[in-house]
Amino acid sequence: MTDQLHYLAARVAVGRMSRRAFFGRAAALGLTAAGANLLLSSAVQAAGPQMGGTIRMGIQGGSTSDSLDPALGTNTVSLALLRMWGEPLLGLAPHGGLEPTLATEYWSSPDAKVWTFKIRTDAQFSNGKNVTADDVLQTMLRHSDENTKSGALGVMRGITNMRTEGDDTFIVELDDANADLPYLMTDWHLIIQPNGGRDAPDAAIGTGPYILKSVDMGVRFVAEKNPNYWGDMGYADTIELVVINDNTARVAALQSGQVDMIDRVPPQTAGLIGRAPGITVHSTTGPGHYVFIAHCDAAPFDNNDLRLALKYGIDRQEMVDKILAGYGSIGNDTPINAYYPLYTELPQREYDPDKAAFHYKKSGFDGPILLRTSENSFPGAPDASALFQQSLAKANIPLEIKREPNDGYWSEVWNVKPFCTSYWGGRSTQDQMYSTAYLSTADWNDTRFNDPKFDQMLIAARAELDEEKRKVMYADMGMILNETGGLVCPMFNDFLGATSDRVAGWVDGVRGYDLMNMYGPMKMWVAA
């Protein structure tokens, strides 16, 4: 019977038998539905990639105010689109380290102050123009301009000069040594564009495996294979991205077959969803964290005692249990967890209503604290806000919650209002995370944190080539954030994505963001 079932599964994998017929035969032979699913999935994976068809993905986070300009991307929809049509110089390898994209190789001077990147000579933009080192230079100059609104501005700090040598060599000169510079070049905002995107930053002209053919901002996007793509990624002829911000609707779209994969599976129902026929839920640990962010320069959050009251007044374990349903771990008011190679565990701040009440009274503030939230900030954010309200109430700290519309949350609330729920997907290195969101001059410093000592330590850590010394420096920086920052970080979330059995090719443990670092639709294939 076993040989016969394997034979039937193999026929399905190569398109010679329908799935319906297979499940019927498997049931007749006494195999359970779960066993049939597992056997068929293994056969499809073993058959290897299949070309053609359409992969449809449902993603949370988009709005009508989004932009196709890589500099202005703020959410997972922006990230997924950029993955399709564009590429940075280097990519994060699936299981750690770096992999070449538009830079085929790179090296540094002995002091790590000068970095040289060789640019791929066989790459073309989707408009047919060959990529040159000058396109790279202009891209980096645009994102490092002091007037830019780029989310990558923070990681570009410290660069003294950038130049080219010929058409295939790009050189970066630094004020101080930075052993992590190649990792900074993986930032998803740093998509290489013709002339750096200066002429048409939102034209979506890049070197990625797909070309955007239809754009309905905040609603739906359609991309087709790029005939000029230099690489071998991308099996489907077409990828459709549908913005589905409502959790229930997104799950329903997957279960009904309207989409083939979704991100941000609600943790509370992940187990139930994973038991549905033809659906697989994938859990991946990473650096993502669900947070409450307070502007350190806006009253009443400009008072550190008020910030400490909030930090002591949150029950982190309750958040992990009730919001993440165990798919994650508790946070400690820093953006760094064990995902990062130079991580050092700090003393854990515990829920303490008495300490929260002490610091609240010491702050001198006696009015309600206004927290803005939306399901668009992270799954379960309104419920997490309600739990925060309840835990603060035990310290007699009043919290008022205002639920904001999903559409426009990332442009009208996040990084604008002084206290709100938010989400960070993390970065590849501690320097990149700190430089993006906690360096005082970073455009995405969404807590308005400004500590000259922290800035100095960040720059010094870049220049320190001894990893043990860097580890100590990063730990000290983490303590500064823990004690004085505007970040209230109760939890690190696992990435929970889900796929239907219509697609195959999932790889577990890919580092980065959800859905295989958002390369899922390009690295998976249509299997049915």
For domain 289-493, which architecture applies? Roll (3.10)
Asked if residues 35 and 17 have their Cβ atoms less than 8 Å apart, the reply is no
**Rounded to the nearest 10 degrees, how much is the dihedral formed by the CA atoms of 247, 248, 254, 257?**
-140
- Give the tokens for residue 498: 């889900």
The residues, any chain, with a CB within 8 Å of residue 398's CB and separated by 6 or more, are: 367, 368, 369, 392
Q: What is the DSSP letter of 157?
A: T
Asked if residues 228 and 122 have their Cβ atoms less than 8 Å apart, the reply is no
Q: Residue written as tokens 């990558």?
A: 152
Task: Measure the CA–CA gap between 488 and 330, rounded to whole angstroms.
Answer: 11
Helix or strand holding residue 222 (H, E): strand 220-225
Which residues, in sequence order, are bridge partners of residue 174? 159
Task: Measure the CA–CA gap between 317 and 315, rounded to whole angstroms.
Answer: 6
CATH homologous superfamily of domain 54-62+208-277+496-526?
A: Periplasmic binding protein-like II (3.40.190.10)
**Of 76, 85, 38, the residue nearest 57 (C-alpha):** 76
- Give the tokens for residue 463: 């220049």
**In terms of DSSP bridges, do strands 238-243 and 220-225 run parallel, antiparallel, or are they unpaired?**
antiparallel
Task: Measure the CA–CA gap between 227 and 430, rounded to whole angstroms.
Answer: 37
Q: Give me the DSSP letters along 97-134.
A: SEEESSEEEEEE-TTSSEEEEEEPTT-B-TTSPBP-HH
- Answer yes or no: pTM beyond 0.95: no
What's the confidence (pLDDT) of residue 443? Answer: 85
Hey, where are the domains in the chain? 2-47, 54-62+208-277+496-526, 88-197, 289-493
Q: Give me the DSSP letters along 53-113.
A: SEEEEEES---TT--S-GGG--SHHHHHHHHHH---SEEE-TTSSEEESSEEEEEE-TTSS
Task: Measure the CA–CA gap between 498 and 448, rounded to whole angstroms.
Answer: 35
Asked if residues 280 and 498 have their Cβ atoms less than 8 Å apart, the reply is yes
Q: Residue written as tokens 């925060």?
A: 388
The residues, any chain, with a CB within 8 Å of residue 174's CB and separated by 6 or more, are: 112, 113, 114, 115, 158, 159, 160, 181
- What value, to the nearest 5°, has the Cα angle with vertex 135 and ends 131 and 140? 135
**Of 504, 508, 510, 507, the residue nearest 524 (C-alpha):** 504
Task: Measure the CA–CA gap between 379 and 359, rounded to whole angstroms.
Answer: 30
pLDDT along the chain (528 residues), means of 10: 61 57 68 65 71 97 94 94 98 92 96 96 96 98 91 88 97 92 95 97 98 97 96 97 95 97 94 92 95 98 98 98 96 96 96 98 96 94 98 98 94 96 93 94 94 95 90 98 98 96 94 94 93
Q: Which long-range contacts (CB under 8 A, 24 or more apart) does 443-446 make?
A: 443/148, 443/149, 443/150, 443/151, 443/153, 443/154, 444/151, 444/153, 444/154, 444/415, 445/154, 446/293, 446/414, 446/415, 446/422
For domain 88-197, which architecture applies? Alpha-Beta Complex (3.90)
What's the confidence (pLDDT) of residue 20? Answer: 62
What's the confidence (pLDDT) of residue 247? Answer: 92
